[in-house]
Structure 1
Amino acid sequence: MPISLNAYRDIAPPGRVELLYRLSQQTIGKRMLHITGNRTGGEIGEILHTLIPLLTEVGLDVRWERIKGTGSFHEAVQTFRNGLQGEDVKVPDAVLEGYREAIHQTGRTLELSADSVISHDPDTLGLIDYAPTDSRWIWRCYLDASRPQRKTWAFLRPYIIKYDAAVFSLPQFAQPLPVPQFLVYPSIDPLSEKNRELEPEEITETLDKLQIARDKPILLQVSRFTRSKDLRGVIEAYRLVKSHFDCRLVLAGTASADDLDEQAVLNDVRDAAAKDEDIHIVPLPPESSLDINALQRAATIVIQKSRREGFGLSVTEAMWKGKPVIGSETGGITLQIMYGQTGYTSNSVEGTAFYARHLLNNPAIALEMGGRARDRVRQNFLITRHLEDYLSLLIFMGRL
């Protein structure tokens, strides 16, 4: 059952819920359509599963549709995502044709009429060619598109410039475009299964299930098992810490059985861990919100040593749970972590280990940092702020 907006009154900053009800008076009855490549998992799915019921509660008529594509469509989308983030990719003509065909079939059969249509990431960009003339179309990009591969950008840009506006997660993620651009930070739902408060018994039960003892401090990184998350670097940092401070390392996240690259990274991480009984490699199924919640609450320090990152909601989640975070200087991590106040940033193995040792040796400082981290999330990165941004965007677009 969807959570009511009123449930956030004691969680969001004072007055925000009242502000949302007032803003919504200008959008009541407006039709809004969200279109994505799929409806399960990931940052977009988690946000929309919470945001859409709240938009509906404040009076909008909201739909969420997705493109039903073949394997070549999904291969094209993944290639576009990698290319937008600067990777050197190649898209065979057959794969491009699969993307165009999925867009064509969806454009012909899907009801696209709405006052505002939000097209999420590159998956659905091509649908702009089927847009009704009486709708405002907005492209929502969550990726770091600041340095895209030229061929990928050359293919996607002609679609993007047909939109009425574009929304990015960080200013540095954007590109020069001849359309209005807006900034909307991603967010977390503090009442979701992944972020709600847990009873001590729930945390203990989950860690017992995962066979992780709590007899010593826990360093934790939650991420997919991909090379961009520098999991070997995390292990190297842990070993430097371990030589001075007895602790455990938990590397938890999803690893698709069908993704050969992720399986290769998972095997590589297991090899790097060798026979160290204090390193716990925890592959999780897609729906593991409670497990992640419990791990983050049990952790002493959370690490996010990514080489490349989008906004980094795993950092947001840990900060909400009152944990100091040591993260790389990339993507949204640098926006979220206030250096020396809510955590530390470092790109090196040695720097990561140094800050982890410092926090382990000074638990009072870690506790204070965690408190400031939670308050920073409360003020800036909760779903209520996200709802405010969307309502404001709809009001503005309605005046163009």
Structure 2
Amino acid sequence: MGVVWHVNSTARGGGVAEIIGALCQADDPRYRTRRFVTSEDPALFEVTKRIHHRLHGVPAGELPDSAEHDAWCRYARANVKEFLTSADPKDLVVLHDPQTLPMAPLLAEAGVRLAWRCHIGTAGQNAVTAATWDYLRQFWSEGLVLVFSSPALVPALDHDHDLALALEKHDHPVRIIRPSIDPGTLKNRPLSDDEVSKTLTDAGLGTRPISPALDSSVVTVSESDLGTDPVIVQVSRWDPLKDMAGVLEMFASSDLPSRAHLVLCGPSPQSISDDPEAAGVYAEVVRRRDRLVSAVRRRVHLVCPALDDTRTNALLVNALQRRATVVVQKSLEEGFGLTVTEAMWKARPVVAARVGGIPSQIEHGVTGLLLDDPRDLDGFAAAVGDVVGEVVAHSGQYAQMGRNAHEFVDREMTSHREIREHTDLYRLLEGS
């Protein structure tokens, strides 16, 4: 039986950690899957977050200077040294996202066969993304297999933005593996109405809202209960590209039904070691909420579950998505967006931005609604208001859209498919 290692920079928080968790639990008779989490380095994560934004086309700071580059390489060497105390050079390795990429040439030098899976990027490549890929390519060791979530996210090597030809032009093997969800996890399993109600009440969103929440592992900012009113939900990290502040502004400035509530749910900023911006983004959303007039503010709820309590976190996200009248994903850029898949699995109507990997999940008007411009607050508000109005009126149109979404996820987006595709990747690395 072969051994496969998945290497990333954080044990929890976000879709990548969840995907790796599912892959490591896969029952594969040919491969035994293990996980290695690299060491924490707050200073380095400031650098890699700039890389993260730049791969999404956002000019958020410069490329690493010589000192930062050298620090990143030292970080890679230290982690490779630690990794090889547990792993055998004959094992297979899948590195995940930019934080781990400088490990690739070092592992290749030790004889390891490996792939790098990049979960982020943008289809709208520009000079910022081109320069960033130019920098990162120095770490692409000979024979490294590159894995992306969508063909649109594969960088064009000659900068001509001809992404349709990018797969053919690469001098590295390229594979496309779309992320997936595991329907059997606590975050995605069916919940009864009573379970949903109790979970939300315990989190401070039910009949006795308080702040902090009754469960100390969840911090909730809430002034009223949800009751039976319409609920708009976005679940995301507190990352500027997820645009939680924009969702709040859209809700506050729109003509949405006066009874509608907005719930913004993201993991506690202290729970995510590799995201130095989370605390600042959350604080800004809190400030903006506090400035709203009381009639609007009391219908805006901020929820931060701690990721070290995995059960509470998963159950709360599940309950929120099932309670939602409509789920929003107003990301400015999005590598894929597993929260979209989760909501679709729960047959929720989803209104999302047409960015990154989201269009590979949503067929506009069939399995959800796509907005071309994520910064169009009026357009988002109109689409969300239309869904809320028709769901409340029980017209049936968006209920059917939700059913279509569930069927699509069941057919295309579960971990069974992703596990099979990873098995094919492992065989490619073995040369079989």
TM (norm. structure 1) is: 0.85
**Structure 2 runs not aligned, ≥5 long:** 158-169, 206-224, 271-275
- 2:26 alignment partner, SS class: helix
- 2:151 corresponds to which of 160, 171, 186: 171
Tell me the residue number matched to 1:219. 232
The aligned amino acid for 1:125 is L
- 1:254 alignment partner, SS class: coil
- 1:139 corresponds to which of 116, 140, 145: 116
- 1:219 alignment partner, SS class: strand
Q: Does 1:385 align with 2:417?
A: yes
Tell whether the 8 Å contact from 1:225 to 1:265 is kept in structure 2 after alignment.
Answer: no
1:123-163 deviation digits (Å, cap 9, x = unpaired):
11122222256542111000116535455333311112534
Return 236-245 or 46-55, whichever deviates more. Answer: 236-245
The aligned amino acid for 1:256 is P
- 1:121 corresponds to which of 84, 91, 97: 97
1:340-365 deviation digits (Å, cap 9, x = unpaired):
11111113222222222322333311
- 1:53 corresponds to which of 25, 30, 40: 25
Deviation at 1:318, TM superposition (A): 0.5
- 1:96 corresponds to which of 50, 54, 69: 69
User: In structure 2, do the counterparts of structure 1 residues 262 and 243 end up closer, same or farther at CA, with 3 Å as the change threshold?
Assistant: closer
The 5 Å alignment of 1:300-339 reads 300-339=325-364
Tell whether the 8 Å contact from 2:122 to 2:335 is kept in structure 1 after alignment.
Answer: no
User: In structure 2, do the counterparts of structure 1 residues 268 and 98 end up closer, same or farther at CA, with 3 Å as the change threshold?
Assistant: same
Tell whether the 8 Å contact from 1:144 to 1:331 is kept in structure 2 after alignment.
Answer: yes
The 5 Å alignment of 1:360-379 reads 360-363=388-391, 364-379=396-411
The aligned amino acid for 1:173 is L
Aligned length: 371
Return 259-268 or 172-181, whichever deviates more. Answer: 259-268
Tell whether the 8 Å contact from 1:37 to 1:66 is kept in structure 2 after alignment.
Answer: yes
2-structure distance, mates of 1:244, 1:207: 22
1:52-107 deviation digits (Å, cap 9, x = unpaired):
1215x434122211222533333333232223222322334433232111111222
Tell me the residue number matched to 1:267. 286
- 1:362 alignment partner, SS class: helix
Tell whether the 8 Å contact from 1:161 to 1:179 is kept in structure 2 after alignment.
Answer: no
Tell whether the 8 Å contact from 1:73 to 1:96 is kept in structure 2 after alignment.
Answer: no
Deviation at 1:241, TM superposition (A): 5.7
The aligned amino acid for 1:164 is L
Q: Does 1:355 align with 2:352?
A: no
2-structure distance, mates of 1:274, 1:114: 62
The aligned amino acid for 2:23 is L
TM (norm. structure 2) is: 0.79
User: In structure 2, do the counterparts of structure 1 residues 156 and 163 end up closer, same or farther at CA, with 3 Å as the change threshold?
Assistant: farther
1-structure distance, mates of 2:247, 2:79: 43
The aligned amino acid for 1:352 is F
The aligned amino acid for 2:327 is V
1-structure distance, mates of 2:238, 2:5: 33
RMSD: 2.3
2-structure distance, mates of 1:246, 1:140: 44
2-structure distance, mates of 1:382, 1:370: 17
1-structure distance, mates of 2:107, 2:133: 21
Deviation at 1:164, TM superposition (A): 2.6
1-structure distance, mates of 2:56, 2:384: 30
1:29-56 deviation digits (Å, cap 9, x = unpaired):
122121112222221111111211215x
1-structure distance, mates of 2:101, 2:320: 37
Tell whether the 8 Å contact from 2:367 to 2:404 is kept in structure 1 after alignment.
Answer: yes
User: In structure 2, do the counterparts of structure 1 residues 150 and 340 end up closer, same or farther at CA, with 3 Å as the change threshold?
Assistant: closer
Tell me the residue number matched to 1:181. 174
Return 100-109 or 172-181, whichever deviates more. Answer: 100-109
The aligned amino acid for 1:195 is N
Tell me the residue number matched to 1:83. 54
**Structure 1 runs not aligned, ≥5 long:** 1-28
1-structure distance, mates of 2:257, 2:284: 28
1:160-209 deviation digits (Å, cap 9, x = unpaired):
25343100001111113310111100111111121111122221012212
Tell me the residue number matched to 1:157. 137
Tell me the residue number matched to 2:218. none
Return 201-210 or 275-284, whichever deviates more. Answer: 275-284
Deviation at 1:272, TM superposition (A): 5.4
Deviation at 1:390, TM superposition (A): 0.7
Tell me the residue number matched to 2:263. 250
- 1:192 corresponds to which of 150, 171, 185: 185
User: In structure 2, do the counterparts of structure 1 residues 191 and 327 end up closer, same or farther at CA, with 3 Å as the change threshold?
Assistant: same
Deviation at 1:394, TM superposition (A): 2.2
1:240-260 deviation digits (Å, cap 9, x = unpaired):
664556321111112515645
The aligned amino acid for 1:342 is T
Return 65-74 or 218-227, whichever deviates more. Answer: 65-74
